[in-house]
Structure formats: C-alpha cells, structure tokens
Amino acid sequence: REFTDEHFESPEVKALLASWGMHLDFAPDVSGGALFPFLETFASAANGMVLGRGGAKQMIDALVSLLESLGGELRCGRSVREVVITNDVASGVILEDGQEVTADRAVIGNLTPPVLFGDLVPKSSQPESFQRRVRDYRQGPGTMMIHLALDDLPRWRASEVLREYSYVHIGPYMEDMAQAYQQAVAGLLPTRPTLVVGQPTAVDPTRAPEGKHILWVQVRMVPAVIEGDAADEIEVGDWDTVGEQYADRVVGLIEEHAPGLTDDILGRHVLTPNDLESYNPNLIGGDSLGGSHHLMQHFALRPFPGWTRYKTPISHLYMCGAGTWPGAGVGAGSGYLLGRMLTSPVSKLRPISAFKEWRGKAM
C-alpha cells in the first residue's frame, strides 16, 4: 500500500499492482510485500505471460524428456516412506512397497520442510534446534480452485477486450484485498475474496472442444480451517460440507463483472484446500505457496535462518522447491541453483567428518 500510494494516484492502478501480491501472501499491508508485485506487474507487461499450447502437461513432458535423454529415470505413483540415513549420511529412500532406492551422490527432496522432516526423515537424525525450526515453519492462507466448462467466454462488463486475455484479476480494489486477507487469516470465509480468473482458451483454443471454453478460478485467500463466515450466510462446517456453497459465492462474484456467466456453465469441478492437500502433501491446508513468504521466511531467511542454500543437517540430503529460495512458482529456480551447486567442479558436498563435528556442537 505504501509503495502504490507513493507512486500512483489512480485506485485502479494501485489495485493492478496489489493483485499480484495476492498470488503470494502479500496483502496490501504486509511488510516487504511490494517487491514481488512490482517485478511481476512490469515484467509481465513487458514480456507477456507464457502458456504451453495444449496445457501445462507440455512443460512436464518436456522436462521428463530432458531427464530421460540424460540417462535419468522417472518413477510415478511410487510413494516414499522414509529417507535412509546410514552413518549420518543420506544414502537413499525406501518406497511404500519396501523397495530401497540408493543414491550415489545426493538425495534431493522437492518437499516443504514440514513434509520432508516431519514425515520422511527420522527425528533421531535431526538436531533439536533444527526440529524447532521445522515445527515453527509457517504456512500461508489456503487456496480454493474452481474449474468451469463453458459454452462461451465471460462477457466482461468492463470491456469486451478482456475476452482476449488469459488472466483477469477481480480484486477489485486495494481495500477489498486487504479485507479478504484479514478475514481468511482470522479463519473466516471472506465476503469478497480476490479472484485470479484464468481464460486459457482465449489464447489456446486446443484446450477445449471446438467452440467451447474452460475457465479456472484461483480463490485468494481462504482459511485452512473454517471458524465462520464473514458474510454470515454459510453455516460453519468443514470444507467437505461448505465447499460447493462457497463456490457458489465465487461464481456469483464473477457474474457481477460478467453477467450471464452462470447460463454458460456446462460443468463445474471444485477443489477445496482439503482436496489440494490430498492431491499434493506439500499444499498444507491448501497453501499453494509451500509456506508463507513473509519476511521471516523469505529471501535469505527461506526456509529458515542458517539453512538457506538447500543444505540440511544430514550430509548428502538436500531440499529444493517452493519451501526454499526463490520460493513459490514453476520457474524451477531452486532446482537450477541446487543443480549448479552439486555439479560445480569444486564439490559443495560437506565431508562427513565436518558434518559430525557440526552436529556435535549443535546437539
């Protein structure tokens, strides 16, 4: 808010920038929250936004192809039960079916700290001071996703040209975003949540049958655990019982800006915070960010002080992903930086003797 008040007068321009902060957990009044919206707003304006023709799976297929071309192997549907620690060194993983997969050089967990160290790494291998850091790791507010199959793209009241864009934000103003965030962190279903409306078929018609369209709606922010409804319209319950009702509210908000949307809906699929976590354990409480990005867990402090370069207290065990720098998103920055570190001519892997000496001091 301070940044936009200092540089802009128009409430609409202020909201334009602030809406990007709501993609993370940077509501208008969160300290340190101006940098991401500033960079994202003008970088996207200058360079556009990339959508893979045919769907996001195209990016996954490309990465898998690259991995396999280099001799790598991808195993899907194989859950890991435990990280194997041998003589204080990560030596592999044990799968749910009991099979052990050994690691020649490193075990890399693309997992948030509470998942990696709360579920997969034996507590006996973690110093108590490190365990405290993991326990204190903070999640961001929850997220809800709504997918719609449509007869036609929304007919936006503000301008017909919005039908040509792949992204539409509904804030609509700074005050609405600030209120939605405060209500969510207080455990309330926000009266008017911030909506990120994706219109991928506006630029990629291959994602739907000819003449039809799809819409995805990211609802920012919602509580992981519902304590009440800020609008006092929905009876308090868990997400399994109130998810569809809240989705009705969200669709109604879009309808205010795009009259006739409801009549064009052919199908709807709602993913509550509970659903998101069940699909991906990293999304704790529906937090799509891999943990809060507030100053205490961002930049040189992500995921927590002293452990910001992908290392862990266990030799040859590394972490990457949204819970590490540079944070949430699909830019693969953490994996790229860790990969460079592990493949540099001067190995950054810590000697076992040095690790044992450190662990003795930490304990």
Taking the C-alpha atoms of residue 306 and residue 344, their distance in angstroms, rounded to an integer, is: 22
Cβ atoms of 224 and 144 closer than 8 Å: no
221 upstream amide cis, omega within 30 of 0: yes
Cβ atoms of 218 and 143 closer than 8 Å: yes
Predicted local distance difference test score (pLDDT) of residue 338:
95
Predicted local distance difference test score (pLDDT) of residue 250:
98
Predicted local distance difference test score (pLDDT) of residue 119:
87
Taking the C-alpha atoms of residue 141 and residue 285, their distance in angstroms, rounded to an integer, is: 8
Q: Interhelix angle for 35-47 vs 11-21, to 10°?
A: 100
CA-angle at 325, arms to 48 and 302, nearest 5° = 135
Predicted local distance difference test score (pLDDT) of residue 344:
86
* Paired residues of 29 in beta bridges: none
Predicted local distance difference test score (pLDDT) of residue 48:
87
Edge to edge, the sheet with strand 100-102 lists: 80-86, 89-95, 100-102
Q: Which residues in the chain land under pLDDT 70?
A: 346-363
Cβ atoms of 334 and 310 closer than 8 Å: yes
pLDDT for 290-338, tens place per residue?
A: 999 999 999 989 999 989 889 999 999 999 999 999 999 888 899 999 9
Predicted local distance difference test score (pLDDT) of residue 51:
85
pLDDT for 182-219, tens place per residue?
A: 999 999 999 999 999 999 999 999 999 999 999 999 99
Residue given tokens 């001071």 in the structure block: 129
Predicted local distance difference test score (pLDDT) of residue 347:
53
* Paired residues of 213 in beta bridges: 150
* Paired residues of 216 in beta bridges: 147, 198
pTM here is 0.90
Predicted local distance difference test score (pLDDT) of residue 279:
94
User: Taking the alpha carbons of 22, 281, 66, 58 in that order, is the dihedral positive or negative?
Assistant: negative
3-class SS string, 66-122: HHHHCCCCCCCCCCEEEEEEECCEEEEEEECCCCEEECCCCEEECCCHHHHHHHHCC
Cβ atoms of 264 and 97 closer than 8 Å: no
